[in-house]
Amino acid sequence: MSRELPSHDAALVALLLAAHPHGLGGVSLRGMPSPERDDWLANFRGLLPDGSPWIKVPVNVSEDRLLGGLDFAATVSAKKPVFATGILEAADEGVIVLTMAERIPDAAASIIGEAMDRRTLLVERDGVTRECRVHYTVVALDEGIDDDERVAAGLAERIAFNLKVRDLAGFQVQLDEWSDADVQEARDRLSSVEVPDAIIEQFSQTAAAFGLASLRGDLFMLNTARTLAAFDGEPAVTEAHAATAARLILPQRATRMPAEAEPPPPPETEPQEEQESTPGTKDIPDDILVDAVLAALPPDLLDELAESLPRSQQGSTGGRGGPATRSRLRGRPVGVEATRQVSGARLNVLATLKAAAPWQSIRRRGERCGALALRPSDLHITRYQDRVESTTIFVVDASGSQAAQRLAEVKGAIELLLNDCYVRRDQVALIAFRKDAAEVLLEPTRALARVKRSLSALPGGGGTPLASGLDAARQLADSVSRQGRTAAIVLMTDGRANIARDTSPGAEKAEHDAMNAAKLLRATGLRSLLVDTSRRPKPRAQRLADAMGAGYIALPNADASRISGTVQRNLAS
């Protein structure tokens, strides 16, 4: 093609995704609805082949709508099972647009992502087995406002591009001269575009330099570069294509800044005469892709990475925190179950009729009645899950009895536990006690970055006012309870106390006050857990846990990962 590709990223992404949808997965558009967003969607749709499916998926989409299932009305009419096509099958060779994608439930996000990988869909439900091909592209409309409102990580991982709605202005001018015929021409060239081994190696090295653990980043860069070459009419990917691909793919996936390269040692022998390179296979300078990515990184990258890294490691942001209680009449519907006793529950009419439908021809034999024949075994009720928001209060012993290395391990464990709280959408709070008092470093919040900053700045040393720490935890938990949330306390200490409630020194009085504070905490009935962080556990921490009514873990040689895993298992039990 004679003309240059657009320099505006939004226009370029639309062309690339239209030409190579299955190799690039899709795009996330973050921002609130706006005319610019509508224009981009309309322009992108105009670049697709005529008749391509374009299906909007609501945030509350059910598994039945995605996968398909028994069509009840048709089944009753035909007196035999009739399958209704799901959204994913209907979107084959087209686009699914996820509205409010940051709120798509975990189950739906998993189904969409798995089908993108397999490109086939096997449905086994309601007595019907069906396998079909599903090749679709995802446009995720991310309308999240807070940093913890993001597209589920498992789904975002399968989407090559990320655009911000605020950056869309001006894209249309550069896209007006491109048509679906131009896109089809590039599609036809794709299969013949070659990628030199040197460029493939450089993609891998650059991805590793920016901390990408998944190979999807490498593949997306590869497919982006090939598509750019196809638009340019080039037989092979060039350095310019590789640099543009790295710039479009890596910034939103980077988890660290690349290390400074050491200067090469001086050559010990005479340099050999340079060998000729064939076109398109010239080695890329070591820093060309890194420089391209660095140029596209926002200036506050380190702060953004600190906030976004836990989400990319932990997966979906769906769900809600707090203890889940099964309910027969209230809460969030979480499925259906067969039962012969409907009293005190809500009959799920659709599930009951679905269970009965496949058997109608058999049950009607010898019966004159034309009505639907139901049996007790057909009855299904709706299951509900009533969930209360939860706050996990971390109470950290930062006194001198905690060696500096041990406090560092405790901080690392809390960071891992914070990630788990984030996944459950729990709130977290942080209390530290040292010298002669306890301090609430952070009130209940979901802002992980703030918690981590407070934690990293937590100094160690001084006396151990254990009773003050327990009192502060009880008072904060009481405040949480009055707001209609449940609280859980994780106390990390070696159990040693030497500062009393009145700030006077002395182990005997301090330990007496600590035991009294523990008993007051037990009377509240709160879930609590004591993690004995001393290297050689002694009975005092176990006695304190018993007085609190708390679970007890002694981990004398644990690292952060082990502490985190053990705490999660104990609080969940």
Instruction: Report the CATH number at residue 95.
Output: 3.40.50.300
Domain shared by 544 and 399, yes or no: yes
Residue 395 lies in a domain: yes
Residue 415 lies in a domain: yes
CATH at 410:
3.40.50.410
Q: What sign for the dihedral angle of Cα 70, 74, 80, 84?
A: negative
* CA 91 distance to own-chain centroid: 24
Residue 266 lies in a domain: no
pLDDT higher than 60, residue 39: yes
| SS3 state at 325 | strand
Domain shared by 202 and 333, yes or no: no
pLDDT higher than 70, residue 422: no
Residue 35 lies in a domain: yes
Domain shared by 406 and 528, yes or no: yes
Provide the terminal-to-terminal Cα distance of the chain, rounded to the nearest Å: 63
Q: What is the extent of the structural domain holding 138?
A: 9-189
Residue 274 lies in a domain: no
Domain shared by 290 and 363, yes or no: no
- 4-8, 13-17, 239-243, 252-256: segment of lowest average pLDDT: 252-256
The pLDDT of 64-80, averaged and rounded, is: 74
Distances (CA, A) of 343 to 26, 328, 351, 401: 47, 10, 17, 59
Domain shared by 416 and 341, yes or no: no
The pLDDT of 208-233, averaged and rounded, is: 89
Average of per-residue pLDDT values in the chain: 78
349 phi/psi in degrees, rounded to 5: -65, -45
Domain shared by 345 and 491, yes or no: no
Q: What's the confidence (pLDDT) of residue 425?
A: 64
pTM, 2 dp: 0.53
Domain shared by 235 and 358, yes or no: no
Count, residues in the chain: 573
| SS3 state at 405 | helix
* Greater pLDDT, 345 or 287: 345
pLDDT higher than 60, residue 242: yes
Residue 138: pLDDT band (50, 70, 90) is very high
> Do 187 and 19 meet the contact criterion of CB atoms below 8 Å apart?
yes
Give the DSSP per-residue string, 179-241.
-HHHHHHHHHHHTT-B--HHHHHHHHHHHHHTT--STHHHHHHHHHHHHHHHHHT-SB--HHH
Q: What's the confidence (pLDDT) of residue 548?
A: 93
Residue 130: pLDDT band (50, 70, 90) is confident
Total structural domains within the chain: 4
pLDDT higher than 90, residue 512: yes
Q: b/e per residue, 432-456, with b = 16+ CB within 10 A?
A: bbbbbebbbbbebebbbbbbbeebe
Domain shared by 142 and 56, yes or no: yes
Q: What's the confidence (pLDDT) of residue 230?
A: 94
pLDDT higher than 70, residue 207: yes
* Greater pLDDT, 194 or 132: 194
CATH at 302:
1.10.8.80
The residue from 149, 168, 189 where one domain ends is 189
* Greater pLDDT, 158 or 417: 158
Q: Two tokens at 553? A: 């873990």
* Greater pLDDT, 364 or 201: 201
The pLDDT of 228-233, averaged and rounded, is: 93
Residue in 246, 260, 165, 168 with CA at minimum distance from that of residue 204: 246
Domain shared by 248 and 328, yes or no: no
The residue from 159, 189, 219 where one domain ends is 189
Residue 313 lies in a domain: no
Domain shared by 180 and 205, yes or no: no
Domain shared by 32 and 127, yes or no: yes
Residue 2 lies in a domain: no
The residue from 189, 216, 238 where one domain ends is 189
Domain shared by 206 and 183, yes or no: no
Residue 264 lies in a domain: no
pLDDT higher than 70, residue 419: no
The pLDDT of 20-46, averaged and rounded, is: 93
The pLDDT of 221-241, averaged and rounded, is: 92
Q: Is 101 exposed, middle or buried (0-12, 13-18, 19+ CB in 10 A)?
A: buried
Paired strand residues for 433 = 397, 438
